[in-house]
Amino acid sequence: MGFALSDMQVESPAFADGAAIPARHTGEGEDVSPALAWSGAPAGTRSFAVICHDPDAPLVSPRGTYGFVHWVLYNIPATVQELPEGVQGYTAGGTDFGRTGYGGPMPPQGHGTHRYYFWVLALDREPDLPEGLGLWELLEQVEPAILGMNRLTGVYRRD
Sheet strands side by side (includes 114-123) = 91-92, 68-77, 47-54, 114-123, 146-156
Decide if domain 9-156 falls under CATH 3.90.280.10: yes
pLDDT, one tens digit per residue, over 110-153 is 889 999 999 999 999 998 999 999 999 999 999 999 999 999 99
Neighbouring residues of 16: CB distance < 8 A, sequence distance ≥ 6: none
pLDDT of residue 3: 60
Is the CA virtual torsion 137, 141, 144, 145 positive or negative?
Answer: negative
Tell me the domain boundaries of the chain.
Answer: 9-156
Mean pLDDT (the chain) is 92
* pLDDT average, residue stretch 13-38: 97
Q: What percent of the chain has a predicted confidence (pLDDT) above 70?
A: 93
Which of these, 96, 108, 103, lies nearest to 61 by C-alpha position?
A: 96
pLDDT tier at 59 (50, 70, 90 boundaries)? low
Indicate yes or no: pTM above 0.85. yes
pLDDT, one tens digit per residue, over 30-55 is 999 999 999 999 999 999 999 999 99
pLDDT of residue 109: 85
Which of these, 37, 67, 36, lies nearest to 53 by C-alpha position?
A: 67
